[in-house]
Chain A
């Protein structure tokens, strides 16, 4: 194998699994360390810069970082009772938001400079548009955000129940953005793209989401319409106070996170017999495991392998839903299909049905001749790098761009969209994306002292305290999760392995004394003859069986061998560097942050 090029910022970025997995590439270990230090405001600002909505995401994020977390690969089953778990990254983020010093944060927030004379329209007031607004407002652009709802926030405000995300948190974080200045909010439904373009904006960013909930198409749907609600619209109505009660027996159809929000909301609006019924198997449900867990914790059973067949009704009033029982069958290619199991149909009685079986993009307001092309799935044709549409001035982001995803993806799209718009407006090529900012610094403080807490703990993952169920179900505004307190947060933060503090090897300094090989608790390091990667992976100190994780190859050794380090299970404990007599190993922090519009452009 060739020696590893550690000058390529991607190499060590990939080692920081959480950051690499995060769509916005938030520097996770850095803010977790700051939380452990009690520097909540600093931790908040790192998040705010990267993902714009730390308080919101700390409660609601889909957490792609957590399944990627190295911790879940290195824990000892015997010490954690068989359950290897990642660091509670998402809930630690909330700690930063909960305990930050608000005055300090206000002082750190940027302010808009003088207007530069260019105007940008953002369609939709959700996370993607808000991110674009933030990134461009600080550059002097004048931003106009259009939304049909009376307050900014989009799905964050309308779809996520307040018992999961208090409105005050949304107000605060939307406020940080509008507080920058140069941002105007128009409470106005946009019905014509042409009309917007005619207003002479220099660029238009479409962050209008995927607002249409898929409907149920079975016999009886029309007759019982009064008691059948589309989940998305229903949640929105609950959010704005238009709906405040539901029947006592409720069936929620669908297995995504919207279904989980619907059923838990129904529990709080008078539903005491609430069930979730899904077509697929329990394991294949789209809802996040923790959301399913929370729903079941509120006495909501999840019934699976049931396909709705008919809505039963009497005198124009719903009586229940009839389901066909199915089983999963797999064809030769491993594709699953649901076929009738042959068992008798099941009837479930109910007073209300909430339909949460998916959401779709919908652009009825974009005229066919507006210059924006769509593909056969009804999604805009976009440049995947720039998010630019076929209209040179129009960019897309968030759910509107590639279909329904989540808040963190919307924020990531927003940053990228802002870069594209800015580059376009200053006459640069938006296709040339800025490299991330990387700051490398040795963490050595003394002979055996590092600037980070390098001793890994063996604690298992801590649970976030919840409000007692009785209390929580009584009040739809009462937040269920209470969040970590500083003591719990410290303990959980200590579980982080500091994967951003990298083991950096300098072959010229190595005397091949084997000290690092002997001390490495994970048997990551080997000195051996070079070979092809496939062969090399099998003959290291311990086999490197995770091909998604790189081997770090160092050369320039006197014996002509190579140093091969399996990044997969490295604890970043720094013992290799501590035992190294010559400093051939060093622990260096790679602080990587994505470059945003503010610093992305104007090549020298």
Chain B
């Protein structure tokens, strides 16, 4: 840690992004982590990624649990929303927050203790629910705050600072995340920002559960010979499968490239990920192959990094739950208490018109068309339709260089800063 705050003076060439902020504006308080901690590098990568994405600081929510990693959100995005939860319970809080206000960009920051030990159950469930978020585990293989005991991600045979070998099997969060249904899974290394920053950017832009396992050496307790999470070990055993070169929108595919060196992943929203191949042939959209490759790497003692798995057509929690387009925290009293006429309609829908059918649900299923639909908003957002992207923070594809994203403009985010004074017309009870 340092005793002085980072000076406000900055390089004369520092430029503002399209949102009107410099990279320094995305910083937080000065870190109190140990000097040389990998977590600080990951913080710097998050700052860089947020700056490059032109994201408005107050449109980000960063949530964390307990541990060195979970202290880290204090040290970046100082102007964003933050929530420091009970140990291992960050996924629940993030799920709830995301349910209430899906318009924010969610970033979960956790560690190997917080996610693989005390919070393992929570970790699994947030992945299978497909919460739209970027979940970053700063993985150092030890409990740093309690002076370096092995954590659940420590490799078997890894030697502690005291010289004792770890006898337990490691939990591989990458495999677990893929298995549990995360739709964007990558692994990286705090000492390689060229790989890490684009991965974080792509994860933040991914509209589903994105998980990044970032190996982050603990300089105080796990950076010695015999450790499998030291700077030297990770550099020697790093098997980078690919590197995200750039992300571009459908409208502007102008860059020419050598097809032999790049893999293209066309995503459902039209954006395209260009993955630079590093060595072997690897298809990041093949889930089974991804699990196989990760396991093979583990068996061979490699640290397999890069974008390991991406589902180009992710579905998120709100899609599964079929919620309305507007964030739930934006619904006004008129939407939530539509009044006696709406109640009458609901009741009418529940009434058995046909005595031969004893079940009200069957009646509901039989009824068709908006007039008899019991929930006023269900008719507005049919399950099959794609969510209206016009109001999504990602609609404008912020990585597109040509256009300022809608949500980066003050006029576009006004609606998310509080409850709307008047509910939008399309969301009020429809029938007379």
Contact = CB atoms under 8 A, between A and B. Distances in A.
A578 B2 contact: yes
Interface string A479-514: 000000000000000000000000000000001111
Nearest to B192: A514
Nearest to B8: A458
Interface in A530-569: 542-543, 545, 558-559, 569
A76 B9 contact: yes
Given A513-B36, A513-B217, A515-B40, A522 B4 contact: no
Nearest to A583: B35
Contact of A513 (B5, B14, B30, B231): B231
Interface stretch (A158-166, A332-340, A390-398, A449-457): A449-457
A581 B36 contact: yes
A519 interface: yes
B157 interface: no
Contacts of B40: 515, 518-519, 579
B9 A515 contact: no
A253 interface: no
A214 interface: no
Interface in A245-268: none
Q: A interface, by DSSP: helix, strand, loop or mixed?
A: loop
Interface in B356-376: none
Contacts of B3: 448-449, 578
B43 A580 contact: no
Interface string A560-591: 00000000010101010011111000000000
A465 interface: no
Given A511-B36, A575-B6, A559 B235 contact: yes
Contacts of A512: 191, 231, 235
Interface in B1-23: 1-14
Given A448-B1, A581-B34, A582-B36, A514 B9 contact: no
A523 interface: yes
A62 interface: no
Contacts of A522: 9-11
Contacts of B1: 448
A578 B35 contact: yes
A74 B12 contact: yes
A510 to B, nearest CB: 10
A326 B83 CA distance: 71
A513 B9 contact: no
Looking at B5, B13, B190, which has the most chain A CB atoms within 10 Å of its CB? B13
A545 B37 CA distance: 31
Interface residues of A, number: 37
Contact of B35 (A74, A76, A521, A580): A580
Given A580-B36, A581-B36, A514 B41 contact: yes
Nearest to A577: B35
Nearest to B24: A521
Contact of B7 (A449, A518, A573, A580): A573
Interface in B27-46: 30-31, 34-38, 40-41, 43-44
A559 B7 CA distance: 30
Contacts of B43: 518
A273 to B, nearest CB: 45
The DSSP consensus for interface residues of chain B is: loop
A521 B36 contact: no
B219 interface: yes
Contacts of A559: 235
Given A456-B7, A511-B223, A523-B11, A579 B231 contact: no
B36 A455 contact: no
A515 B13 contact: no
A454 B223 CA distance: 29
Contact of B191 (A449, A514, A545): A514
B319 interface: no
Contact of B41 (A513, A558, A569): A513
A449 B1 CA distance: 11
A517 B30 CA distance: 14
A518 B40 CA distance: 7
Greatest chain B CB density within 10 A among A458, A514, A524 is at A514
Given A521-B10, A542-B11, A573 B36 contact: no
A76 B8 contact: yes
Contacts of A511: 36, 219, 223, 231-232
A517 B31 CA distance: 14
Interface in B318-375: none
A445 to B, nearest CB: 11
Given A76-B10, A542-B13, A518 B44 contact: yes
A73 interface: yes
Interface core residue of A454, A456, A515 (most chain B CB under 10 Å): A515
Contacts of A73: 12
Nearest to B37: A515
A90 B42 CA distance: 45
B9 A455 contact: no
Given A512-B231, A514-B41, A455 B7 contact: yes
A513 B38 contact: yes
B11 A569 contact: yes
Nearest to B4: A455
A75 B9 contact: yes
Contact of B13 (A454, A543, A575): A543
B193 interface: yes
B8 to A, nearest CB: 6
Nearest to A84: B12
A522 B11 CA distance: 5
Interface in B169-200: 190-191, 193
Most-contacted residue by chain A among B7, B40, B44, B232 (CB, 10 A):
B7
A134 to B, nearest CB: 40
A511 B34 CA distance: 14
Nearest to B219: A581
A558 B235 contact: yes
Nearest to A541: B11
Interface string B242-268: 000000000000000000000000000
Contacts of A370: none
A458 B5 CA distance: 12
Nearest to A579: B35
A513 B234 CA distance: 12
A76 to B, nearest CB: 6
Given A75-B9, A512-B235, A569-B11, 19 more contacts: A76-B8, A79-B9, A454-B4, A455-B7, A458-B7, A511-B36, A511-B219, A513-B37, A513-B190, A513-B191, A513-B219, A513-B231, A514-B191, A515-B36, A518-B43, A575-B2, A578-B3, A579-B2, A582-B36
Interface of B: 1-14, 24, 30-31, 34-38, 40-41, 43-44, 190-191, 193, 217, 219, 223, 231-232, 235
* Closest CB pairs A-B (n = 4): A581-B36, A518-B44, A455-B4, A542-B11
23 contacts: A511-B36, A511-B223, A512-B191, A512-B235, A513-B38, A513-B191, A513-B219, A514-B44, A515-B41, A518-B43, A518-B44, A522-B11, A523-B10, A542-B11, A543-B13, A569-B12, A573-B4, A573-B7, A578-B3, A579-B35, A579-B36, A579-B40, A581-B37
Interface of A: 73-76, 79, 448-449, 454-456, 458, 511-515, 517-519, 521-524, 542-543, 545, 558-559, 569, 571, 573, 575, 578-582
